[in-house]
């Protein structure tokens, strides 16, 4: 498929183009486009993409078109040309073939290229991990253009080469329009405050952005000065008035509004996942636009007229605050078009326990919004495919759907990725696609890559992926050899050593020999040995575990790290953390029979319900990864009643507040974090004995539950299973 881009724009940052063909009769379009794109048919948003691929590759989407006589087909393409954690920094392009049945009715060169000049290019970055904020200066509604009218200048194009095409593994996203509810309104005032500054605002040699002095408007400065006084909710907004629209739960998608501009206006939309009244102790709904270190703001500058507005990138939020700084705008509707994996909602549960049902729904919401093409960490701040997160998210995808389409794409991208010139030989990026020009990486998270590959194979039996990934796995293990000390332990790992979001990750705990990292290393070696039938890896893992137990265990706990004294001897320094104990048991360094006292202490005294002030010398664990490892491990040990009790309390408060599951155990950071969807696996195994799907026997996995009032419909391998517990017996049958 031929691919093109506007001439003289190939290396420009933040270019927005449209490729249009008018009066065409067709039933589908096959297209490849980078960096991101949206498909409109007769003014309606149909599809967004792409399904991301490794650098040098591009995935082809096949998008059905509505069956109408003729139409206007428009593909909007965002070309960013910046490094991010979201998309690769590579040449933007567009290519398409349009079909009517089996006949080709249009190809790439039949589309006319336009520059979307109603979007200023020089805007600030949205976050450190994603490209640019959206600003619009509109004199007319884009619907005129989407229906064939003239609005934007035509640009000459040139061919773009160098991409190998791949298929899309994940189904096309579910894109359903949902209406927001008007819930609050009031007055706005501008106050003098210190401007918020963050690393995403400042370009460097390794971070691409426009200098602040060049940007059209520093949106964060403008909205950061707003103060609010609540009075009444009204769709008619005059100067310095606001309204808030809310949704039933945190949503991801393309938000927009129908508006009549009665006087030329400046309209700002601020949004967030949570109503954070605690943040400033106010009585009105407080949308903290930068709570998650993003600039959750979109601005429209509008001339008098009627508009149907829609963002060009997906965002995440539950609360949306519309502020008219000047002018007059009547908003007749606020909506969001969802951007979700449609298969994640196929699993249906009926149970008497409303908390269980709420957490399952929250897990589905979280995974669906984070699995549209690959397994992401969160759908807002980053939209990044992170290692470690993917290990847990893959479990959830398999459980809720029975197949691992998003995980397959995620792992395939790693397998195909070229060696980054910014990373040491053999090391892989901490998240991908993406570019890390500053050379940063998480060494021990490359070990989670091996763990996830092993589990992916156990779920899918796809050995082709294992073979495709062989060189990456060998490269990672070869990289670590130079950090092995005289005991075989990894010592003084470079860059960002990450154990979890807790004190366990403090600098003084990860230097020297970090034992959680070594516990993970041993297990990854064993997994690689089993995947590739390499006995030397398995033997090495055994020796490593023996060394860890000999050096890390102090008679009561496994300590976090050991450092060299003046004599060059490795000595423990007394650092203790809850998560280190979880690493020890989960990764099979410690056995509960051999370390019975520690296991009992860990099980009974630690965890998310640990008493305040208890064991102050042992740093408390967080959601990722400590509390999650705890739940999964105790479930393996048959502690269903304990796990159900702990995890239900833990996740229900999240589900109740946002309808999604969180990055941390407090409302900071992302409140829609994919790894936490593994809560569905945990709760349904505890509650009703349903453990997912056995790919070899193509049957559900059933075990002994601790409750008996449920009915589950689970779609696996294109079959619908009904799982019911009656008379203390769990049974499954095909529907």
Q: Are residues 216 and 187 in the same domain?
A: yes
pLDDT interval class at 735 (50, 70, 90): confident
Res. 623: pLDDT tops 90: no
Q: Are residues 156 and 187 in the same domain?
A: no
Res. 690: pLDDT tops 80: yes
Provide the pLDDT for residue 283.
67
Q: Are residues 104 and 184 in the same domain?
A: no
pLDDT interval class at 50 (50, 70, 90): very high
Res. 665: pLDDT tops 90: no
Provide the pLDDT for residue 628.
95
Question: What mean pLDDT do residues 597-611 have?
Answer: 94
Alpha carbon distances (Å) from 55 to 90, 225, 280, 431: 7, 41, 44, 13
- The Cα 579–Cα 506 span in angstroms is 13
Q: Would you say 58 and 160 are in contact if contact means Cβ atoms under 8 Å apart?
A: no
Q: Are residues 28 and 157 in the same domain?
A: yes
Question: What mean pLDDT do residues 386-390 have?
Answer: 97
| Any domain includes 492 | no
What is the token pair recorded at 268?
Answer: 């700002």
Q: Are residues 294 and 257 in the same domain?
A: yes
| Any domain includes 357 | no
The last residue of a domain, from among 312, 338, 364? 338
What is the token pair recorded at 271?
Answer: 């949004």
Provide the pLDDT for residue 432.
98
Which stretch of 107-116, 152-161, 225-234, 580-589 has the lowest confidence by average pLDDT? 225-234
Task: Give CA 426 to chain center in angstroms.
Answer: 25
What radius of gyration do the chain's Cα atoms show?
A: 26
Q: Would you say 20 and 72 are in contact if contact means Cβ atoms under 8 Å apart?
A: yes
| Any domain includes 665 | no
Alpha carbon distances (Å) from 626 to 527, 615, 619: 21, 16, 11
| Any domain includes 67 | yes
- The Cα 228–Cα 186 span in angstroms is 7
| Any domain includes 381 | no
Provide the pLDDT for residue 415.
98
Helix (H, G, I), strand (E, B) or coil at 187: strand
pLDDT tens-digit map of 446-458: 999 999 999 999 9
pLDDT tens-digit map of 391-405: 999 999 999 988 899
Q: Would you say 371 and 344 are in contact if contact means Cβ atoms under 8 Å apart?
A: yes
HSE-CB for 254 with a 13 A CA cutoff = 22
pLDDT interval class at 698 (50, 70, 90): confident
pLDDT interval class at 19 (50, 70, 90): very high
Provide the pLDDT for residue 280.
62
Question: What mean pLDDT do residues 529-554 have?
Answer: 98
Provide the pLDDT for residue 278.
62
Q: Are residues 195 and 270 in the same domain?
A: yes
**How much is the pTM?**
0.96
The last residue of a domain, from among 323, 338, 353? 338
Enclosing domain of residue 162? 3-117+152-167
Q: Are residues 19 and 158 in the same domain?
A: yes
How many domains in the chain? Answer: 2
Provide the pLDDT for residue 198.
95
Burial 589-609 (b: 16+ CB within 10 A, else e): bbeeeebeebbebbbeebbbe
Q: Are residues 69 and 89 in the same domain?
A: yes
| Any domain includes 89 | yes
Q: Are residues 160 and 43 in the same domain?
A: yes
Provide the pLDDT for residue 697.
80
* Beta pairing partners, 317: 251
| Any domain includes 225 | yes
Question: What mean pLDDT do residues 269-287 have?
Answer: 81
Res. 285: pLDDT tops 90: no
Backbone angles phi, psi at 493, to 5 degrees: -65, 150
Q: Are residues 181 and 163 in the same domain?
A: no
- The Cα 507–Cα 503 span in angstroms is 9
The last residue of a domain, from among 167, 202, 231? 167
pLDDT interval class at 350 (50, 70, 90): confident
| Any domain includes 431 | no
Q: Are residues 45 and 92 in the same domain?
A: yes
Element (H, E) at 509: helix 507-510
Question: What mean pLDDT do residues 465-478 have?
Answer: 98
pLDDT tens-digit map of 214-226: 999 999 999 999 9
Distance separating the N- and C-terminal Cα atoms of the chain: 43
What is the token pair recorded at 540?
Answer: 């090495």
Q: What strands lie across the sheet with 719-726, from one edge to the other?
A: 348-351, 710-716, 719-726, 729-734
Instruction: Provide the strand spans (E) within 164-314.
Output: 164-167, 177-179, 181-190, 226-230, 236-238, 241-272, 297-302, 305-310
Provide the pLDDT for residue 709.
76
pLDDT interval class at 520 (50, 70, 90): very high
CATH number, residue 53: 2.60.120.260
CATH number, residue 251: 2.60.120
Provide the pLDDT for residue 63.
98
Element (H, E) at 599: helix 596-605
Nearest to 665 by CA among 653, 656, 682: 653
Computed over every residue of the chain, the mean pLDDT equals: 95
pLDDT tens-digit map of 414-439: 999 999 999 999 999 999 999 999 99
Q: Are residues 204 and 268 in the same domain?
A: yes
pLDDT tens-digit map of 156-201: 999 999 999 999 999 999 999 999 999 999 999 999 999 999 999 9
Question: What mean pLDDT do residues 494-523 have?
Answer: 96
């Amino acid at each position: 498929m031929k691919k093109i881009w506007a001439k003289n724009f190939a290396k420009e940052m933040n270019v927005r183009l449209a490729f249009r063909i008018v009066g065409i009769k067709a039933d589908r379009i096959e297209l490849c486009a980078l960096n991101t794109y949206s498909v409109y048919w007769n003014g309606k948003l149909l599809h967004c993409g792409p399904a991301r691929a490794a650098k040098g590759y591009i995935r082809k989407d096949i998008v059905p078109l509505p069956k109408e006589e003729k139409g206007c087909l428009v593909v909007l393409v965002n070309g960013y040309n910046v490094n991010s954690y979201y998309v690769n920094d590579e040449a933007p392009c567009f290519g398409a073939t349009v079909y009517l049945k089996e006949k080709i009715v249009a190809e790439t060169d039949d589309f006319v290229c336009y520059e979307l000049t109603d979007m200023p290019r020089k805007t600030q970055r949205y976050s450190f991990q994603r490209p640019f904020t959206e600003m619009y200066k509109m004199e007319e509604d884009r619907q005129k253009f989407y229906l064939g009218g003239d609005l934007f200048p035509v640009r000459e194009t040139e061919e773009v080469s160098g991409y190998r095409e791949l298929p899309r593994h994940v189904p096309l996203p579910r894109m359903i329009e949902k209406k927001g509810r008007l819930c609050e309104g009031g007055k706005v005032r501008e106050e003098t405050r210190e401007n918020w500054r963050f690393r995403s605002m400042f370009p460097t040699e390794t971070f691409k952005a426009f200098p602040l002095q060049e940007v059209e408007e520093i949106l964060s400065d403008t909205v950061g000065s707003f103060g609010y006084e609540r009075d009444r909710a009204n769709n008619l907004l005059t100067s310095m008035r606001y309204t808030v629209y809310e949704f039933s739960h945190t949503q991801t998608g393309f938000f927009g509004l129908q508006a009549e501009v009665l006087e030329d206006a400046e309209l700002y939309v601020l949004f967030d996942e949570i109503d954070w009244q605690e943040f400033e102790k106010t009585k009105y709904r407080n949308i903290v636009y930068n709570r998650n270190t993003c600039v959750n703001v979109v601005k429209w500058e509008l001339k008098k007229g009627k508009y149907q507005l829609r963002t060009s990138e997906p965002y995440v939020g539950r609360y949306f605050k519309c502020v008219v700084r000047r002018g007059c705008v009547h908003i007749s509707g606020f909506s969001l078009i969802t951007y979700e994996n449609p298969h994640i909602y196929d699993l249906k549960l009926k149970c008497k326990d409303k908390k269980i049902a709420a957490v399952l729904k929250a897990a589905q919401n979280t995974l669906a919004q984070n699995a549209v093409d690959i397994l992401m960490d969160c759908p807002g701040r980053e939209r990044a495919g992170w290692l470690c997160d993917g290990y847990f998210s893959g479990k959830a995808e398999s459980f809720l759907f029975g197949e691992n389409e998003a995980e397959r794409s995620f792992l395939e991208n790693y397998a195909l990725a070229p060696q980054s010139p910014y990373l040491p030989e053999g090391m892989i990026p901490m998240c991908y696609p993406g570019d890390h020009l500053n050379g940063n990486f998480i060494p021990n998270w490359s070990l989670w890559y091996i763990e996830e590959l092993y589990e992916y194979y156990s779920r899918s039996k796809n050995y082709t992926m294992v073979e495709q990934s062989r060189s990456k796995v060998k490269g990672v293990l070869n990289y670590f050899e130079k950090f092995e000390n005289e005991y075989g332990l990894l010592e003084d790992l470079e860059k960002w050593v990450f154990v979890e979001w807790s004190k366990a990750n403090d600098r003084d705990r990860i230097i020297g020999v970090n034992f959680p990292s070594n516990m993970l290393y041993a297990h990854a070696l064993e997994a690689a040995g089993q995947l590739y039938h390499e006995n030397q890896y398995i033997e090495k893992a055994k020796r490593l575990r023996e060394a860890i137990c000999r050096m890390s265990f102090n008679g009561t706990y496994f300590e976090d790290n050991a450092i060299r004294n003046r004599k060059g001897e490795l000595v423990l320094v007394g650092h203790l953390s809850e998560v280190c104990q979880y690493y020890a048991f989960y990764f099979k360094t410690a056995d509960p029979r051999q370390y019975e006292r520690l296991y009992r202490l860990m099980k009974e005294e630690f965890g998310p319900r640990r008493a305040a002030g208890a064991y102050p010398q042992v740093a408390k664990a967080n959601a990722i990864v400590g509390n999650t490892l705890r739940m999964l491990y105790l479930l393996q040990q048959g502690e269903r009643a304990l796990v159900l009790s702990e995890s239900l309390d833990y996740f229900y408060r999240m589900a109740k507040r946002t309808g999604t599951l969180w990055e941390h155990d407090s409302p900071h950071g992302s409140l829609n974090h994919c790894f936490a969807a593994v809560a569905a696996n945990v709760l349904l195994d505890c509650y009703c004995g349903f453990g997912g799907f056995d790919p070899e026997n193509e049957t559900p996995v059933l075990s002994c539950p601790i409750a008996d009032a449920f009915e589950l419909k689970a779609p696996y391998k294109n079959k619908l299973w009904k799982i019911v517990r009656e008379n203390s017996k769990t049974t499954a049958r095909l529907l």
